[in-house]
Structure formats: C-alpha cells, structure tokens
Amino acid sequence: MSGIEGEVARIREILDKPTLRLLDRKYAPLALAVFNALFGGDRERVKADRLHSQVDAYLGELRAVGEDLGAAASGRAQCVLWMNHKWLFRSVGEDGEEEYSLTSHTLEALKLTNSLAKDRALISESRIATILDTVRAWATEANPDRQARIDRLDEQIAALTAQRDELASGAEMAVMDEDRMLDGYANLTDLISQLPSDFKRVEESVGEMHRQIINDFRSEVRNVGEVLDEYLLRTDKLMGATPEGRAFEGAFELLRDDALLLGLRTDLQTIVEHPFAAVLATAEQREFLGTVALIRKGIRDVLDRRMKLTTTLREHIVNHDALRDRELDDLLRRVGRSLGTWMETAPRRAAVPVDLTPDELDISYLKANFYDPAADVAPPALEDTSAGAPAPLDLEQIRKQGGPLLQEMRNAVVESYAAGTALTAGEMFNTLPEHLRRPVEILGLLQIFAQAGSAETRTQTESFFTIRPDGTTREFLVPLLELTAENVAAIAAYNERGSDEQQP
C-alpha cells in the first residue's frame, strides 16, 4: 500500500479547518473585507449592535454597485452565520453588552491574505541568518558532549572578543545597508505577526475548557474533586504541550523580566531610527514599536479568560451544598425502597395520589423575634451644653444677613440722580453707606431697574465695590445701568404706589 488514502484523509481534515474554509468560500472576499475594515489596527472587539448595523450598511453598498452577494441576509444573520463557522466569537464585555472578536482561524486567514498581497519575498539573507543562528543555539543546547559545548562557547567568545577589540581600537564600524535592514525588518514583522493568532488559540482553548467545566457542573455527572483534577491537568497540558501554550509561557517570562523588556523596547527603537525606516509608513513604524504592547494585550486576554474560569470554579465550590446532596440521595433511596415494597403487593394499573406541593400551614401569626428587655430601656439623658453655646445674634446682625433693602436703595437712586452726583448705578452704589453696599444689594438694585423696565441686556460692564457684613470687600462686574430721567421717574413712581417689598 502506498499510504495515499491516509494522506488524502489528512489533507481533507486540514482543508476542513475554519481557516481554509474561510478562504475557500465563494463569498470569502465579503467576510475578509468586513473583518479587515472593522477589526483593523488596535480594535480587537466591536459591539454587537454596531457590527450588525455596519454589516447591513456594507451589504447595501455592495448591492447598489451590482455585487453578487448570493443569499446574504441582514447584518445580524450574517454575523451569526460567521460565528457558527467559527470565524467570529461573541462574548459579554465588562459593561454587560455583547461584543464580537475575531477567532484565531480568522486571524490566520487575514495574515495569509495580507502576506500574499506583499510584493517583497521573505526568503532573504536575514531569514536564513535567523534560521542558522537559531539552529546553532539549539544544537549547542541539545549536544550531550560536554567538550563540544565548551568548544562551541569558546568559538563564540573568541569571535565576540575580536569584534569588541576591533571596535575598541577605533576601527571603522560596519554600517548595515538599507536593503539588508529592510530584509531583517520584514523577517521580524513576519514573526511578530504570528503572535496574535497564537495568543488567540490559547484563549480559545481556555474558553473551550471553561464551557466543558460548566457543562460538567450543570450535569452533576462527576463530583467537584474530579472536575478540579481535570481542570488542573488540562491547564498543565495546555501551557506545556501546545506550541501556542509554550509561546504564552515564554512571553509571560519576558514580561516578568524588566531588564529584558527594557532591552526589547530599546532595540525596537534603535531599528526604527535606522535610515531604512524612511520608506516605512507611520502606521508601520507605530505597529512595530507596539510589539511589547501587543504581547501585553495577548497575555492579559488569556489571563482574563483563565480568571473567568477560576471564578466559575470558586463560585460552584462555594455554592455547592454537599449536605443537601446527601439528603437528596438518601431521600431518593428511601423512595426507591418504598416503591419496591409497594410494587410487591400493588395490583396492575394501581395509582398512588401524590401532591406536587405540600399544603400551606394554617398559622395566623409567627413571632419572628423574642422579647428583648434592652429594647425598652430609655435612652440616656442629653448632656447639657448650654454653657458652651455661642452668644445669640442681635437684631442688627440678623438683618445684615438678610435680603436687599429695596426701599432704601430706591430712595438712594432718586436722591443720587437729584443731586447729580452719579450717572450710572455703579457710580451711585460706590458712594453709598456701608450697610447699603453688601453684595446682596446688587441683586436688589438689578431688581429695582427690572421693575422700572430698564434691565435690557448690555455688553458693557462697570465695577461695584461691595462691603460684606464682616468688613471684607469684593469687586463685582455688573452690566452698565444708566441713571436716566425715565428710569428714575419709574423708580420714584414705584415708591409712591407703596410696593416697596413686592417681588418681581
């Protein structure tokens, strides 16, 4: 046998994965275009309502230009279809609203399509050099021959020492040309672009574990101890037995090493400051420099998903009532024994009346609390603090804290105009006695002019210098009010009508 049947089965299984099913569909351009448009840049989650309405708008635009969309329905139905194909994942956000995010399969498909759109090949000197360096490093670690390891390390030390001595002696530094730097940059970005899908696969694996454990708890097929043992075992396997799990643990170790993290940031900045970066777009530079943030975000998402799983376990353990389960099991066993005894003597088609709910207790009143003598004890007498009370205010002090003196202010306006000592309300106010220059008197003055029908809005202002009852002063800017014959006559007439304290 050639083994072609097994190879066909293996290829069929690969082609049936959501990643390739997304690329193989007739309407894949629609899905990929929507995912690129709505989940590009730093946006990893989109509110469900917003995504539904946006897909509706996209479908309408494409139909208007004659695009063949087949049986594409509403935006909501299309998103649900994509979710069933494992291209979208729907969850509940921190604010309680549903939101969508891309799955690892969709991220891989987008990465593949975006890489095919690039004109520059990644098979370059930098890629080969990276492979050689990695192979050399791991071969050194894997070689069990102690002397071989020592010889390899001595070669590296000698090469690095010669390079350092050459630089220390003032020799001309070799500057990397722009083409080689661009090749190295492309190699790095290709490696970095694989991180989001790796993190997403870890997150999805934890999410699948979460759903399985919830189902086990709800079905109550296994006890809590068995579920916890499986959770711990699967967690260990997830972090150590899968490539994405190992990538997660490596990134986690990186973030815990502050010196290594600082070195990574510095190295990324050094690469971008090279002259070759002039050909890169600003968005490409920003995305390259955001590698550390990308790693942080992936780790935070995985840890959040693990935290939700741990919370589910803790809540179930806390709320799980083992005593209630034992009582229920004991009751069911007694019912089974009684049923078996009854079946020995019961005739065919015999029935037993069973009440689904117990009868209500006929209790008119059930006392909830017993008598407490302490509840009838009188409260302690209040302490006499009259000796420390402040001196009471006299009538004059109380009057100073009151509202404006409207009648005296009207009289002052009429007298000031008759004497010709002021042309505006501000000039008149600043010459009044102290008891008429409180801040509240400004409000009274504005009320007086409003009653006289001359409180139209003005842009010009003037200063009012007030004196508070405690003797402090303050300046206010008030709209300019002129003392005209018409205004003063209306104010004087208001006094004669005896409406001195009438409110507007």
Give the contacts of 209 (CB within 8 A, at least 6 positions apart). 231, 234, 235, 238, 309
| Pick from 477, 414, 402: nearest CA to 438 | 402
Structural contact between residues 125 and 42, judged by C-beta atoms closer than 8 angstroms? no
Mark whether 101 and 131 lie in a shared domain. Answer: no
Rounded-to-integer distance, Cα 486 and Cα 492, Å:
10
- The number of angstroms, rounded, from the C-alpha of 351 to the middle of its chain's C-alpha atoms is 60
The H or E element containing residue 266 is helix 258-272
pLDDT tens by residue, 254-285: 666 777 777 878 888 888 888 888 888 887 78
Mark whether 287 and 426 lie in a shared domain. Answer: no
Rounded-to-integer distance, Cα 484 and Cα 51, Å:
67
Give the pLDDT confidence score for residue 440 in this predicted structure. 92
Q: Which amino acid is at 291?
A: T
CA torsion sign for 209, 212, 213, 214 is positive
Residue 327 domain flag: no
Q: In which order are the strands placed within the sheet that holds 98-102?
A: 45-47, 98-102, 88-92
pLDDT tens by residue, 200-250: 777 777 777 667 766 666 565 556 667 667 666 666 665 665 565 666 666
> What does the radius of gyration of the chain's CA atoms come to, in whole angstroms?
42
pLDDT tens by residue, 117-151: 655 444 555 566 666 677 777 677 677 788 888 88
Rounded-to-integer distance, Cα 188 and Cα 181, Å:
10
Whole-number percent of the chain with pLDDT over 90:
5
| Pick from 59, 65, 69, 103: nearest CA to 83 | 103
Helix, strand, or coil (residue 465): strand
- Measured between its terminal Cα atoms, the distance across the chain in Å is 108
| Pick from 48, 102, 106: nearest CA to 76 | 48
Say if pTM beats, i.e. exceeds, 0.75: no
Mark whether 92 and 236 lie in a shared domain. Answer: no
Structural contact between residues 29 and 16, judged by C-beta atoms closer than 8 angstroms? no
Mark whether 42 and 133 lie in a shared domain. Answer: no
Considering 260, 288, 319, which residue would you say is the last residue of a domain?
A: 319
User: Bigger pLDDT: 252 or 77?
Assistant: 77
Least confident of 193-197, 418-422, 444-448: 193-197
What is the average per-residue pLDDT within 387-412?
A: 85
Interior CA angle at 300 toward 49 and 297, to 5°?
A: 75
The mean predicted confidence, pLDDT, of the chain is 76
Which CATH number does the domain housing residue 37 bear?
1.10.10
Number of domains in the chain: 3
Q: 56: pLDDT confidence band, cut at 50, 70 and 90?
A: confident
Statement: residue 436 has pLDDT above 70: yes
Residue 230 domain flag: yes
Mark whether 81 and 132 lie in a shared domain. Answer: no
Rounded-to-integer distance, Cα 25 and Cα 36, Å:
17
Residue 385 domain flag: no
Residue 386 domain flag: no
Statement: residue 252 has pLDDT above 60: yes
pLDDT tens by residue, 290-320: 877 777 777 777 777 777 777 766 776 666 6
CB burial class (10 A; 0-12, 13-18, 19+) of residue 283? exposed
Give the pLDDT confidence score for residue 384 in this predicted structure. 87
Mark whether 213 and 90 lie in a shared domain. Answer: no
What is the average per-residue pLDDT within 343-350?
A: 78
Mark whether 236 and 295 lie in a shared domain. Answer: yes
Rounded-to-integer distance, Cα 343 and Cα 133, Å:
80
Q: 439: pLDDT confidence band, cut at 50, 70 and 90?
A: very high
Give the pLDDT confidence score for residue 503 in this predicted structure. 44
Give the structural domain span for 466.
Answer: 402-496
Considering 107, 133, 156, which residue would you say is the last residue of a domain?
A: 107
Residue 368 domain flag: no
The H or E element containing residue 91 is strand 88-92
Helix, strand, or coil (residue 90): strand
The backbone region for 468, taken as left when phi is positive above 0, alpha when psi lies in -120 to 50, beta otherwise, is beta
Q: 455: pLDDT confidence band, cut at 50, 70 and 90?
A: low
Could you tell me the two tokens for 121? 């090949």
Considering 319, 337, 363, which residue would you say is the last residue of a domain?
A: 319
Mark whether 202 and 295 lie in a shared domain. Answer: yes
Residue 170 domain flag: no
Residue 282 domain flag: yes
Mark whether 81 and 189 lie in a shared domain. Answer: no
Mark whether 140 and 235 lie in a shared domain. Answer: yes
Beta strand 88-92 pairing with 98-102: antiparallel
Please state, as a whole number, how many other Cβ atoms lie within 10 Å of the Cβ of residue 25. 14
- The number of angstroms, rounded, from the C-alpha of 173 to the middle of its chain's C-alpha atoms is 48
Give the pLDDT confidence score for residue 502 in this predicted structure. 47
Mark whether 93 and 129 lie in a shared domain. Answer: no
| Pick from 226, 380, 371, 231: nearest CA to 306 | 231
Structural contact between residues 442 and 476, judged by C-beta atoms closer than 8 angstroms? yes
Statement: residue 501 has pLDDT above 60: no
Rounded-to-integer distance, Cα 280 and Cα 282, Å:
7
Residue 486 domain flag: yes
Residues across the chain: 504
Give the pLDDT confidence score for residue 463 in this predicted structure. 93
Helix, strand, or coil (residue 338): helix
pLDDT tens by residue, 459-485: 788 999 999 988 899 999 998 888 888
Give the contacts of 290 (CB within 8 A, at least 6 positions apart). none
Interior CA angle at 148 toward 143 and 149, to 5°?
A: 70
Statement: residue 1 has pLDDT above 60: no
Mark whether 186 and 67 lie in a shared domain. Answer: no
Rounded-to-integer distance, Cα 198 and Cα 242, Å:
10
pLDDT tens by residue, 143-185: 778 888 888 888 888 888 888 888 888 777 776 777 777 777 7
